[in-house]
Structure 1
Amino acid sequence: MPTPITASPSATEIILIRHGETDWNRELRFQGHIDVPLNDMGHEQARRLGLRLAGETVQHLLSSDLMRAQQTAAPAAQQLSLSVLTRVSLREQNFGLVEGMRADEIQNLHPRAWEQWLEFREDHAMPEGENARDFHARIMGALGDIAALHAGQCVLVVTHGGVLDMVWRTANGLGLSGPRRSDIPNAGFNRVRIADAAVPTSIEILDWADTRHLDDLPAQPTYDQTRHLPKR
C-alpha cells in the first residue's frame, strides 16, 4: 500500500458512489455511454444510499450526466438539500460498437476485439471506443478540477464502476493494464482524499465498498473480469 498522504486544510474529500443497479447490470451488458435507467432494485439502493448520506457534511453534489447516475444522486440531493450538477467528464468508459452487448455477443460479433480485450492492455480500446489510458486521463482531469474548485471541502460524486476502478488503481499505485481487481458494488459508499489539486493522482482511500446500507438486499450481479483469463 502507498504511504498515507498527510491531510492539509486544502485537501478535498470526495465521496464516490457507483450508480445503482440497472437491468443491463443484471444482464452483465457493457453499458458505457448508453443512457440506461435504474431498475426497481437500483431505485431502492439509491433510496437507502440517500438515508446513509443524511448525516454527512457535504458542500457539493456532482454526477455523471447519464440517467442512472442522476437517478442515484436524487435521493441524496434531497437528504442533503443540494442541487445536482452534472458533468459529462464523469461518464463511464466509452466501449464504442460493443455497448449494449454481453460478453458472448461480443465474442460472436467482434471476436478479434474480444481476444484483445482479454489482454487487458491500457492502450487497447473496443472498436470506436476509449482505451484505458485516455479514460484514466479524462477521470484524473475531472477529479483534479473538482479538487481545485472545492479545496478544503467534501464533494459527493455519483459516477460509474470504471471510474472507481481508475481511482482505486491510482490510489494503490497500480498500472492500468490487467483486469479489475477491486470490489465496486452498485450504490456502495467510497471516500477518498486528494491532497493536492495540482496532482490529482495524490489520492488516499479512506473508505471503500461500504455496503452496510444495502444489507438484506439480494446479491448484486458481478462482472468478474478475472474469470475470462486463460487457465494456468
Structure 2
Amino acid sequence: MQTPTRIIAVRHGETDWNASTRLQGQLDIELNAKGRWQAQRAGRALAREDVGAVYSSDLARAWQTAEAIAAPHGVDIQPDQRLRERAFGEFEGRTFADIERELPDAALLWRRRDPDFSPPGGGENLLVFQARVVEAVAELAARHPGELVVLVAHGGVMDVLYRAATRQELQAPRTWQLGNTSINRLLWTEQGLTLVGWADDGHLEGDDALDEAAAA
C-alpha cells in the first residue's frame, strides 16, 4: 500500500473581480494589492513546512499566490491546467447581479447546483468539473508518497476537494468557508481524500478574506 500524501490546498489571493463579485472562471485576472499581501502572508505562514512540491493553476491569480508560497522553499512551481477554476462560459466577466438579470433561467439552475447544468457558451457542468479536479489531485498526490504537496487553485476547486474529502454530494448546501489564501489540509491515500483541517486564516491577522461566494 502506498504511503499517504499530505496536501495543503490554498485558494488564490483576492482580485478586484472578487471584490466586485464579478465571475472570473477561466479568465486570467491578476491579484490586487490586498491579494498580493495575502499571498505573502500565506507564504510566510507555510515557510517552515517541509514542502516537497508546489502545483498551481496556470491562471495569474493562482500562479502569483503560488510564487509567494514556493519562494521560501526554493522549489519550482509546476503548472497544471486541470487546477483551473470551473469554466463558466457566458457567465464569465459578469457580476452575480448581471447573471441574475440577464440570464435568469441559467442563473436558477446554477444557484440550485444542478450537476448537469453547463453555463451557456462552453461552460462546464459540475460533474465534469468535479471529475477533472479529483482526478488531477489524485494523480499529483500519487507522485509524492510520504511528502507534503501544496496545491494552489481557486474557490471552486477548494469546494470540490472539501466535498470529496467529506463525502458530500455536489448538490449539498455549502456550510464551509472558502476564503482567499485560507490554508486547507488534506490527506490523500489510494482510497481518496480525507479532511485534516480547513479554512485556517490566522496568517491574515483578522483581516477578513472574501469567501468563494464573492466570485470564483
TM over 0.5: yes
Q: 2:167 aligns with which of 163, 168, 173?
A: 173
Q: 2:125 aligns with which of 128, 131, 154?
A: 131
Q: CA deviation at 1:224?
A: 4.3
Equivalences for residues 89-168 of structure 1 within 5 A? 89-127=82-120, 128-168=122-162
Q: Which runs of 5+ in 1 are unaligned?
A: 1-7, 226-232
Verify: 1:16 aligned to 2:9, yes or no: yes
**2-structure distance, mates of 1:152, 1:121:** 37
TM-score, length of structure 1 as denominator length: 0.87
Equivalences for residues 182-197 of structure 1 within 5 A? 182-196=176-190
**2-structure distance, mates of 1:165, 1:159:** 11
Query: Which residue of structure 1 aligns with residue 47 of structure 2?
Result: 54
Q: 1:222 aligns with which of 197, 208, 211?
A: 211
Runs of 4 or more above 4 Å deviation: none
CA contact (8 A) 2:177 2:211 kept: no
> How many residues matched?
213
**2-structure distance, mates of 1:52, 1:224:** 24
TM-score, length of structure 2 as denominator length: 0.94
**1-structure distance, mates of 2:183, 2:172:** 24
Indicate the RMSD between aligned Cα atoms, in angstroms. 1.5
Secondary structure of the residue aligned to 1:70 is helix
Q: Percent identity?
A: 38
Secondary structure of the residue aligned to 1:59 is strand
Q: Which runs of 5+ in 2 are unaligned?
A: none
**2-structure distance, mates of 1:96, 1:145:** 27
176-185 or 119-128, which moves further after superposition?
Answer: 176-185
**2-structure distance, mates of 1:222, 1:34:** 19
**1-structure distance, mates of 2:212, 2:77:** 29
**1-structure distance, mates of 2:213, 2:175:** 8
Query: Which residue of structure 1 aligns with residue 195 of structure 2?
Result: 205
